[in-house]
Structure 1
């Protein structure tokens, strides 16, 4: 097997890979990952300085799929599951008493506790329960299209539709009052978009400033959900927040840290990723009038539009894992304790798995992408995301005659969760 040195990335590529701004230039990011995948599908990323902890970059679809399913060898603990600079990791340790995880949630747990916590809310997000919400979702979708026309004919689709639509649905399920949704959106943008100048509201930010922005978001979530917990314990209602607030494991309620993490993963990841995929689908259709026209007359393409948008956009761009033992990935020796990045972007654009991966193809089949992960940690809300998108695009295709770009679409600067932050469109009603 090759040594680390044999597959060490050069410093220019290392810096590009860990720079959030790289992912705002989507084609450039894909070019970078394509080159790395072709030359070293399991590459050693070491900046050679204390600010940047080294890790293995895994970019081939088959390798990422295998790692995603092997939760015994590739752990979510003890190291952080999201790439962070040393400053951020040390800050998390100082705030948590030693854990690299600033937030403890489903994505940071390993077996057996992971499945115990997952089962607390899993039934809420299964197809059987979601079917009962379809009529309500349809009404919310048509209100979103109303906003589109009210703001048009030129409109920012992200601000008007793709951000507020899934936000409203997941907050209804969670039990957050509608008047608090704007606060939830702001805190989510601070948490996931802390590296982006527009979303964070600051320019020329240092790593320390980014860390402080994310930490302030976490604190804001904790303060909000602490108050909501008290309300749901005193007056429980039929929603996920009441389930979490009153959950008991081994005869004890959830501890505050785990409870706050549970709320946050559902409140933030439950809408931001769907917003990104929804905007990605609309961008693709605006760029391809023929595909838009086909979808208007052939609604059997809708599931394909949804699935392809999720792959093509890949909102969750990576997760990190820690090797529990000496092992190998793609023929490369991995030592116990090594940190590895599973690049979902690279995996979802691997030409060995997807023909012409940069092309948006609503008829792509099979489309076994990794945007939801795989194995025990597969996204809890995947059925909700698919349903939300299908219902919204049904309404959009019913009521829009044509759509085209009205300016430059811009993607956020982020190494972790990313997607379009603006999508200016010109729409014509049917």
Structure 2
């Protein structure tokens, strides 16, 4: 019996081998919205494949809620797990979402943002210098992995020596379907850790006899992150620094309230995971796009004014976050189908960002593609708060590499992340030719 396209796009093993573009294209062209049965016994959901319908869902939180069932495709295992994820800003609806987002937005002051941009530029130059010193062949993923970690450490006020904790936490949460990432531990036994980090490591979970870690999308599944976030909040309340999180802890909302420790912990989780993985997948994905078309590197080197458009096209063509879930609050009609109250509705960014109704020749990577109407950062109230900083990181990293290398070529087969959520690369061998 032939395996259906919908079954294939829900299979993490498929993504480990390569993006199922043919299946996504067929599903999108067959219907804007279609029903998908979940292979793990879940209730099934409406999958939204096209650009217009995806935008319609994301801009209407009154009909398509982030809070009701949270934003993971798979339902939380227990009512307690659902309550836990509902407390995160990512899974809130207005007005609760507006309150936290407003406090966070105000914390990115012009001074703090300008300082972050300067630090991003410096981090990118130093990483490019390190690559120049190494020379020859390298794993591009490892080469650039430190950039989002360094920037997040700046944003969160995390001591530089602790930043690899952010790497492991993101691996465990995003890579829960990939055995290599699910038990990621690059920190234990490392020198230079703060007392906060050493204390957090004492409560880090260990794999069970079958090598499985507890579900990291529950509070009990990643207690080391929460222990660290709690300690950091206490430290920054007493000794605020120039970082965004210190500013956030001092903010007062319209009713005179401040960010609670629990809210800070959940925001720390969000930044540690989302702020890390989107860039860690987006930058290697951008390089994969350039490697796929010889001549693009030279073209960008000759005309740096093309770099902002190249970053947008990288995000569209690669699309780091592939899908997100909403839950219908009431009966509705979408793409010609009847959505019932309580139905799961999953928007598929990967398919929407290659919708030929919006993007001409969508499978092609084009530096001269007009506009930036992709959905890599979402749309509507939950549009990624860090989008501008993420774009700057990508432009800074590629700009620094273009300054130092005359050519970059593939030096082996890439190794992909086993995930139905993140379009990730674990390794990308490249050959670097210095100028």
CA distance in 1, matches of 2:34, 2:379: 22
Secondary structure of the residue aligned to 1:426 is strand
Q: Aligned residue for 2:177?
A: 195
Does structure 1 residue 114 correspond to structure 2 residue 97? yes
CA distance in 2, matches of 1:279, 1:211: 29
Equivalent residues in 2 for 1:135-154, closer than 5 Å: 135-154=118-137
Is this contact kept in 2: 1:23–1:414, CA < 8 A? yes
How far 1:219 sits from its partner (Å)?
Answer: 1.7
How far 1:353 sits from its partner (Å)?
Answer: 1.2
How far 1:374 sits from its partner (Å)?
Answer: 0.9
Is this contact kept in 2: 1:175–1:239, CA < 8 A? yes
Q: Aligned residue for 1:168?
A: 150
Is this contact kept in 2: 1:14–1:45, CA < 8 A? yes
CA distance in 2, matches of 1:198, 1:294: 37
Change (3 A) 1:206 1:358: farther
Which of these residues, 56, 70, 93, is aligned with residue 60 of structure 2?
70
**Residue-by-residue CA offset, 1:27-54 (whole Å, 9 max, x unaligned):** 4x2211111112232111124x772231
CA distance in 1, matches of 2:368, 2:434: 25
How far 1:104 sits from its partner (Å)?
Answer: 2.8
Is this contact kept in 1: 2:170–2:276, CA < 8 A? no
Does structure 1 residue 236 correspond to structure 2 residue 247? no
Equivalent residues in 2 for 1:4-403, closer than 5 Å: 12-27=4-19, 29-47=20-38, 51-84=41-74, 89-91=76-78, 93-94=79-80, 96=81, 99=83, 101-102=84-85, 104-125=87-108, 129-161=112-144, 163-201=145-183, 209=212, 212-215=215-218, 218-249=222-253, 250-403=255-408
Is this contact kept in 1: 2:319–2:349, CA < 8 A? yes
Change (3 A) 1:228 1:323: same
How far 1:336 sits from its partner (Å)?
Answer: 1.2
How far 1:342 sits from its partner (Å)?
Answer: 0.5
CA distance in 2, matches of 1:13, 1:359: 22
CA distance in 2, matches of 1:25, 1:364: 28
CA distance in 2, matches of 1:206, 1:80: 31
Give the structure with the higher percent helix.
1
How far 1:208 sits from its partner (Å)?
Answer: 11
Does structure 1 residue 426 correspond to structure 2 residue 417? no
Change (3 A) 1:11 1:324: farther
**Residue-by-residue CA offset, 1:95-154 (whole Å, 9 max, x unaligned):** x4x52x547322111000101100112145577753343332222111111222233311
Change (3 A) 1:257 1:14: farther
Secondary structure of the residue aligned to 1:403 is strand
Is this contact kept in 2: 1:159–1:422, CA < 8 A? yes
Q: Aligned residue for 1:3?
A: none
CA distance in 2, matches of 1:225, 1:127: 25
CA distance in 2, matches of 1:206, 1:291: 48
TM-score, normalised to structure 2's length? 0.87
How far 1:238 sits from its partner (Å)?
Answer: 2.0
Change (3 A) 1:50 1:20: closer
Is this contact kept in 2: 1:59–1:343, CA < 8 A? yes
CA distance in 2, matches of 1:268, 1:285: 26
Is this contact kept in 1: 2:149–2:167, CA < 8 A? yes
CA distance in 2, matches of 1:126, 1:57: 38
Is this contact kept in 1: 2:54–2:352, CA < 8 A? yes
How far 1:252 sits from its partner (Å)?
Answer: 4.2
Instruction: Tell which deviates more after alignment, 125-134 or 378-387.
Output: 125-134
TM-score, normalised to structure 1's length? 0.88
Is this contact kept in 2: 1:173–1:240, CA < 8 A? yes
Computed over aligned residues only, the root mean square deviation of the Cα atoms, in angstroms, reads 2.5
Q: Please, which runs of 5 or more residues in structure 2 have no aligned partner?
A: 185-207
**Residue-by-residue CA offset, 1:307-355 (whole Å, 9 max, x unaligned):** 1111111111111111111111111111111110000011011111112
